[in-house]
A and B are shown apart, each in its own frame.
Chain A
Amino acid sequence: MASVFLGINDRTYTYESTAARAEHMGAGVRYPIDFAMTEDEIAYIVNRGREDRPDGTRLTVFSLGEDGEEYISTFGSYGEEPGQFIWPMGITLDKNTNVYVTDEWLHRVTKYDQDGEYISHWGTHGSGDGELNRPAGIVVGQDDTLYIVDSRNNRIQKFTLDGKYLSKFGSAGSANGEFNLPWGMCLDADDNIFVADWRNDRVQSFTSDGKWLATFGTPGAAGTPGTGGDCSNAVIKGGITYTNAPVGQFNRPTGVCVDQDGDIYIADWLNNRVQVLTPEGRFITEFTGDGHLSNMGVAKLKSNPDMIRQRNGIRNFTPERVLWAPCAVKMGQNNRVIIADTTRHRFQIYRKNTEPVVV
């Protein structure tokens, strides 16, 4: 698809707030890699955690409403038993707020109820129909079809909500309709499928029956290759942070969502930003991060005067502002755009304005 990055548009966005803080246990998150929102703006969050602190690998439930964040509960844990996971990755909710979580290591999907009670799990490692190899992104369609990014098989598979195989599409490659280790996915209002085609540095869209529709983006990296998405590549100009990568170019996109107008939000992982495109693929804007102290961050600081003193000595707050390898972006209510700022263990929240706002 041709991409035009010039011209006016009628959307403006403003930074709203930052939510949550880094915690392995209790009220916080650790490497939030994906999340799913209810209509009440309750977020079910996948905390990937890390190997030396398996207690941080868990699902947390937060309210991420406009009144500020509030920690609600935790469920799931690190392990191979039913209800546990090793590498939890994608998460989605069905109409009854049952929770579905993919596990990239155990190659399975685990289902919980809305309170986090384990219901079932399914999945067999392999490449045959219905088998999984590193399942990643997961969404539920309006017809209760469960779509799963079967990443190492480079395909999308469709299942019933209880795991019965329905169909598949996609194969390995870089042509339209092909994938290279795809990661996140979402559906638009018509159940068209958008897939973050990770190693092809692009997003592709498909009809719900797998017909290719469009490709968005080309490869492009900020800063020095091999830096692993180091946020020190971000620069600050006039109080706004930027990456150095051209717009419309992606460096390992991870998550994608589409708003009610059809605008597309893409977590541009190693460029440390979220890009916003029109439904036709025209660049609208990018979020590189405006993070401030969340309520939970303030509470943490207040617990330790030494931290307050250290922070007061800072001359450059850019590192605290910028997104750092964000993995997921979702729409909340009232045009709120919620970004999982994965490596900073928090969420940065923007708002799409109904009328133009000077920023």
Chain B
Amino acid sequence: MTSNSVASKDKTTTIDLMAHLMRRAGFGADRDELERRVAKGYEATVEELLNPQGNRADREHFLRYHPGFRRAVTSPGMGASVWLYDLMHTERPLEEKMVLFWHQIFATGQSKVDHWHELIAQVDMFRDKGMDSYRDMLVSLAQNPAMIYWLDNCDNHESGVNENWGRELLELFSMGVGNYTEDDVFECSRAFTGWTISTVPPRNYYSRFDWSFEYQEEDHDNGEKTFLGNTGNFNGEDIINIICQQPATAEFVARHLYNFFVADEPPVPAWSVTPPKDPKAIATLAKAFTDSNYDIRSVLRVLFLSDFFQNARFTKIKSPAEVVVGTLRLVGQDILPGPGIGDLSKQAGYMGQELLNPPSVEGWHTGVEWINSGSLMKRINFVADMLGDTSRPGVQRIIDRLKAQGNLGAEELVDNCLELVGPVKTGSATLHQLVEHAAQHGELAWDTDESTKASTARVGELLQLIAAVKEFQYC
């Protein structure tokens, strides 16, 4: 390792920690951004992520060139294109990461909703409310047309209760199995009767019309209800208030946050029988949740500043969305607007996470379940294609940094490349193989046009190899 290497040890600790924060609280960051943030400091960066001053993606710019995505379309995967653009271009990475978080928890799918634009409206709501009051977001969720349709609350009438929304609100969105009774499910559902969607014109002659929430008083059950030991003429908001008073709710949300930001937990259905990996961490987060009156931003602050978060590096397998968005942000964002947005928006789906179309209301099973022989190949090939394209501005920036190092031996080259795409920490066997490959053509030189061209190509190949190593799949 050279003395002026980007991997020099005095920088490594802080860069590594900042890279960890940005992978988890965002979608990674290139070396320039990491160095800027290290100079700013860890705690200041956490605050900036929690209270972002940057811009959201300029969706109007995107829609100028892709007017067909103003209301997303029917073809599989295409509807998520607008969101992909948001994910790629936001200057508020944690805000957008929280959109992904809530989409995973309040999983709503195109397979039934069949209106991409209503799903986009839902994730837009997550963006606006995702770091504020959990209680307020549950109310918005209960009034969200896509959710109402997804869980049949439009079929929940005074004269005939449909329990789908009421059950999932308790089971998957707030408390978890074992913390309520079947009677509670029924009473909860009664309180949400009359929460429905207004009728809209048929879509066929002027394209689709937006749904909107409508409260139909005449269809609401105004009778007395008993829910979780409380009795009264409850409406939906009363139910949500009671839910938020339950310790189980704080623990449930805390475990979700831990699973998403700290370390992979088993799928939600196993939570009633499998204790958390780190009960103390869950208790810490749950307490922050309760103490702050269900303020998500406050819980996230505690999480990112905790030792259990800062020590949890490379303990999570990247979700497909993290693979795709992280790669696209790393290689540069000149790709969009442009033709091919549909293909790009489908990539996460090819890897097992079709955004806006989770397999069920339970969301995706995460962790090791992201990986199988098919999805692994898709992950590697996508990243390798992107990193191997040395014309991309982000790859060019990596090459420029390597050039600044002067001629590089194999070990230095591998060391620096691992740093610049992560940093990625590999095992010794992997490192040895990478170095062996890099050594095949001798030292990397930049002194002539010919050597620069050859070295650029070799860097592209090496980056492709790095995309294929096991450690690259972790964050």
Cβ-defined contact, B67 with A48, below 8 A: yes
Q: Who on chain B is nearest to A136 by CB?
A: B64
Enumerate chain A residues within 8 angstroms of B66, measured Cβ to Cβ: 50-51
- Give bound CA distance, A87 to B339, whole Å: 9
Q: Which of B60, B66, B207 has the most CB of A within 10 A?
A: B60
Enumerate chain A residues within 8 angstroms of B68, measured Cβ to Cβ: 30-31, 48-52
* Interface window among A110-118, A186-194, A224-232: A224-232
Cβ-defined contact, A346 with B75, below 8 A: no
Which residues 282-314 of A have a CB within 8 angstroms of B?
Answer: 291, 293-294, 296-297, 300-301, 304, 306-307, 310-311, 313-314
B448 in contact (CB, < 8 A): no
A93 in contact (CB, < 8 A): no
**0/1 per residue, A83-108, Cβ < 8 Å to B?**
00011000000000000000011000
**0/1 per residue, B296-324, Cβ < 8 Å to A?**
00000000000000000000000000000
Enumerate chain A residues within 8 angstroms of B65, measured Cβ to Cβ: 87, 104
- Give bound CA distance, A232 to B65, whole Å: 22
Interchain nearest-CB distance for A238 vs B (Å): 21
- Give bound CA distance, A71 to B63, whole Å: 28
Give the contacting residue for B70; candidates A226, A293, A307, A343; CB below 8 A.
A343
B198 in contact (CB, < 8 A): yes
- Give bound CA distance, A83 to B462, whole Å: 42
Which residues 195-224 of B have a CB within 8 angstroms of A?
Answer: 198-202, 204-207, 209-210, 212
Cβ-defined contact, A301 with B338, below 8 A: no
**0/1 per residue, B53-68, Cβ < 8 Å to A?**
0001001100111111
A209 in contact (CB, < 8 A): no
- Give bound CA distance, A293 to B201, whole Å: 11
Give the dominant DSSP class at A's interface: loop
Give the contacting residue for B199; candidates A33, A296, A314, A325; CB below 8 A.
A314
Interface size on B, residues (CB 8 A): 34
- Give bound CA distance, A87 to B199, whole Å: 35
Cβ-defined contact, A105 with B339, below 8 A: yes
Cβ-defined contact, A33 with B67, below 8 A: yes
Q: Who on chain A is nearest to B68 by CB?
A: A50
Cβ-defined contact, A293 with B341, below 8 A: no
A319 in contact (CB, < 8 A): yes
- Give bound CA distance, A93 to B202, whole Å: 36
- Give bound CA distance, A191 to B340, whole Å: 39
Interchain nearest-CB distance for B197 vs A (Å): 12
Give the contacting residue for B205; candidates A30, A300, A342; CB below 8 A.
A300
Known: A226-B59, A297-B206, A301-B205. A313 touches B199 (CB 8 A): yes
- Give bound CA distance, A339 to B387, whole Å: 46
- Give bound CA distance, A51 to B205, whole Å: 20
Cβ-defined contact, B210 with A230, below 8 A: yes
Which residues 253-289 of A have a CB within 8 angstroms of B?
Answer: 270
Cβ-defined contact, A315 with B206, below 8 A: no
Give the contacting residue for A50; candidates B69, B209, B338, B340; CB below 8 A.
B69
**0/1 per residue, A317-359, Cβ < 8 Å to B?**
1011000110100000000000000111110000000000000
Enumerate chain A residues within 8 angstroms of B75, measured Cβ to Cβ: 52-53
Enumerate chain B residues within 8 angstroms of A104, measured Cβ to Cβ: 65
Q: Who on chain B is nearest to A23 by CB?
A: B205
Cβ-defined contact, B202 with A52, below 8 A: no
Give the contacting residue for A51; candidates B59, B198, B342; CB below 8 A.
B342
B29 in contact (CB, < 8 A): no
- Give bound CA distance, A204 to B2, whole Å: 58
Interface size on A, residues (CB 8 A): 54
Which residues 160-192 of A have a CB within 8 angstroms of B?
Answer: 181, 183
B282 in contact (CB, < 8 A): no
A13 in contact (CB, < 8 A): no
Interchain nearest-CB distance for A51 vs B (Å): 5
Known: A86-B339, A87-B65, A319-B210. A229 touches B70 (CB 8 A): yes
A22 in contact (CB, < 8 A): yes
**0/1 per residue, A37-50, Cβ < 8 Å to B?**
00000000000111
- Give bound CA distance, A99 to B419, whole Å: 55
Enumerate chain A residues within 8 angstroms of B56, measured Cβ to Cβ: 226
Give the contacting residue for B338; candidates A22, A105, A342; CB below 8 A.
A105
Interchain nearest-CB distance for B236 vs A (Å): 22
Q: Which of A104, A230, A345 has the most CB of B within 10 A?
A: A230
Cβ-defined contact, A307 with B204, below 8 A: yes
Enumerate chain B residues within 8 angstroms of A345, measured Cβ to Cβ: 206-207
B190 in contact (CB, < 8 A): no
Interchain nearest-CB distance for B449 vs A (Å): 23
Q: Who on chain B is nearest to A105 by CB?
A: B339
Interchain nearest-CB distance for B456 vs A (Å): 24
- Give bound CA distance, A301 to B207, whole Å: 13
Cβ-defined contact, A319 with B200, below 8 A: yes
A21 in contact (CB, < 8 A): yes
- Give bound CA distance, A344 to B208, whole Å: 8
Enumerate chain A residues within 8 angstroms of B212, measured Cβ to Cβ: 232
Given contacts A252-B60, A301-B205, 4 further A-B contacts (CB under 8 A): A21-B206, A228-B63, A291-B206, A343-B207
Residue numbers of B with Cβ under 8 A of A are 56, 59-60, 63-71, 73-75, 78, 124, 198-202, 204-207, 209-210, 212, 338-342
The 8 residue pairs across chains A and B that have the minimum distance between CB atoms? A50-B68, A52-B75, A297-B205, A307-B202, A300-B205, A344-B206, A310-B202, A21-B205
A-B residue pairs in contact (CB < 8 Å), sample of 25: A50-B67, A50-B68, A51-B66, A52-B74, A52-B78, A53-B73, A87-B339, A226-B124, A228-B59, A228-B63, A228-B70, A232-B212, A252-B60, A270-B60, A294-B205, A297-B206, A301-B205, A310-B199, A311-B201, A320-B201, A343-B67, A343-B71, A343-B207, A344-B207, A345-B207
